[in-house]
């Protein structure tokens, strides 16, 4: 126990030193900010995967305070860059510790990046009086209708890059990733709920509706691929997929005027999710019935 505590303190000191060095360098070379956001969660992930919650919290507080002292010329740097990387790393490490499967952890990580990006966006807007979306797009219509969709896609790209890098690095320390052998049953239920929610927001809040549409496309991609593998006439599938992509792209081109068209894609996905869910429930009931019959025979 004592040896483990020494190890945790030593590792915390080493990782905190790395954060401090990267913080100091990023002030001199601003392009390193992106590297911090993507690569630095590796250290927090490894630490949180190995040690308990108390040690993780102490490591986070110590690292943020030390980085704050180093970057005192820009006092909000630690909250804007260091805190999000620690938070993402902690979540990812806990997912490893709990052996959460690969695809499930990816979407949890993506949602985590959504929250950290929202935090960074509003923090920058309040403290520095800079609207990042206006600076990037300079298009009020796009920001009004597609800012949440952009945020989700950007967060998914961040999650994919971060997860890929962290996964490869943790393999060196014998941290193996658990991969789902089959699509989890709860994913179908979540997809059905998301589709219902997206339909509810189609007229109330187009921005959120299109964001949920993108999320449904992402979370249901595994069941769509599963369906594709079973289909006999794959050319027909590609034609249907092409039509769906065109219909989904129309709102991006024409904004709100054709925002109802993705509902066609959502309807097809909803049918697919319900069919697979019913199949799983039927197979489960048949297995239960078979077990009961075998028990009665004995």
Tens digit of pLDDT for each residue in 120-147?
888 888 877 777 777 777 777 777 777 8
Q: Both 20 and 165 in a single domain?
A: yes
Q: Both 245 and 148 in a single domain?
A: no
For residue 114, tell me if it sits in a domain: yes
Q: In the predicted model, is pLDDT for residue 56 greater than 80?
A: yes
Give percent of the chain above pLDDT 70. Answer: 83
Q: In the predicted model, is pLDDT for residue 4 greater than 70?
A: no
Q: In the predicted model, is pLDDT for residue 263 greater than 60?
A: yes
Q: In the predicted model, is pLDDT for residue 229 greater than 60?
A: yes
Q: Both 140 and 221 in a single domain?
A: no
Q: Both 104 and 189 in a single domain?
A: no
Q: Both 65 and 189 in a single domain?
A: no
Give DSSP secondary structure letters for the chain.
-HHHHHHHHHHHHHHHHHHHHHHHHHHH-TTHHHHHHHHTHHHHHHHHHHS-HHHHHHHHHHHHHHHHHHTTTSTTHIIIIIHHHHHHHHHHHHHHHTT--HHHHHHHHHHHHHHHHHHHHHHHHHHS---HHHHHH--HHHHHHHHHHHHHHHHHHHHHHHHHHHHHHHHTTT-PPP--SS--HHHHHHHHHHHHHHHHTTTT-HHHHHHHHHHHHHHTHHHHHHHHHH-S-HHHHHHHHHHHHHHHHHHHHHGGGGTTTHHHHHHHHHHHHHHHHHHHHHHHHHHHHHHHHHHHH-
**What average pLDDT score do residues 221-240 get?**
70
Q: Both 148 and 42 in a single domain?
A: yes
Q: Both 47 and 163 in a single domain?
A: yes
pLDDT at residue 2, as a whole number: 45
pLDDT at residue 153, as a whole number: 84
For residue 178, tell me if it sits in a domain: no
Domain boundary among 141, 171, 201: 171
For residue 203, tell me if it sits in a domain: yes
Domain boundary among 146, 171, 196: 171
pLDDT at residue 240, as a whole number: 67
- Domain extent, residue 278, equals 185-297
Domain boundary among 139, 171, 203: 171
Q: Both 50 and 25 in a single domain?
A: yes
Highest average pLDDT, of 10-14, 166-170, 249-253, comes from: 10-14
Q: Both 146 and 217 in a single domain?
A: no
Q: Both 38 and 145 in a single domain?
A: yes
For residue 287, tell me if it sits in a domain: yes
Q: Both 156 and 205 in a single domain?
A: no
Q: In the predicted model, is pLDDT for residue 268 greater than 60?
A: yes
Highest average pLDDT, of 5-9, 104-108, 285-289, comes from: 104-108
For residue 177, tell me if it sits in a domain: no
For residue 179, tell me if it sits in a domain: no
The domain tally of the chain equals 2
Q: In the predicted model, is pLDDT for residue 252 greater than 80?
A: no
Q: Both 222 and 89 in a single domain?
A: no
For residue 261, tell me if it sits in a domain: yes
pLDDT-derived band at 209, boundaries 50, 70, 90: confident
- Mean pLDDT taken over the chain: 78
Model pLDDT for residues 13-46, shown as the tens digit of each residue: 888 888 888 878 877 776 666 777 777 888 888 8
**What average pLDDT score do residues 169-187 get?**
76
Q: In the predicted model, is pLDDT for residue 250 greater than 60?
A: no
For residue 180, tell me if it sits in a domain: no
């Amino acid at each position: 126990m004592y040896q483990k505590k020494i190890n945790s303190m030593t590792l915390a000191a080493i990782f905190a030193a790395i954060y401090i060095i990267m913080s100091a360098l990023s002030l001199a070379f601003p392009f390193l900010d992106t590297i911090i956001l993507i690569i630095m969660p590796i250290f927090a992930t490894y630490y949180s995967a190995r040690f308990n919650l108390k040690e993780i919290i102490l490591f986070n507080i110590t690292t943020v305070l030390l980085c704050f002292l180093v970057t005192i010329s820009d006092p909000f740097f630690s909250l804007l860059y260091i805190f999000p990387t620690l938070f993402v790393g902690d979540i990812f490490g806990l997912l490893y510790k709990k052996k959460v499967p690969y695809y499930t952890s990816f979407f949890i990580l993506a949602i985590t990046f959504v929250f950290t990006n929202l935090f960074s966006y509003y923090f920058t807007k309040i403290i520095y009086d800079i609207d990042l979306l206006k600076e990037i797009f300079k298009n009020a219509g796009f920001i009004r209708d597609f800012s949440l969709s952009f945020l989700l896609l950007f967060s998914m790209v961040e999650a994919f890059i971060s997860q890929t890098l962290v996964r490869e690095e943790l393999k060196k320390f014998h941290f193996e990733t658990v991969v789902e052998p089959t699509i989890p049953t709860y994913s179908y239920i979540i997809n059905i709920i998301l589709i219902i929610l997206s339909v509810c927001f189609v007229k109330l809040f187009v921005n959120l509706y299109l964001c949920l549409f993108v999320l449904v496309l992402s979370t249901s991609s595994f069941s769509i691929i599963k369906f594709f593998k079973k289909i006999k006439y794959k050319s027909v599938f590609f034609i249907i997929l092409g039509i769906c992509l065109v219909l989904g792209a129309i709102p991006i081109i024409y904004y709100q005027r054709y925002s109802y068209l993705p509902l066609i894609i959502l309807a097809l996905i909803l049918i697919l999710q319900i069919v697979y869910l019913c199949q799983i429930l039927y197979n489960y009931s048949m297995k239960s019935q078979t077990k009961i019959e075998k028990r009665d025979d004995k």
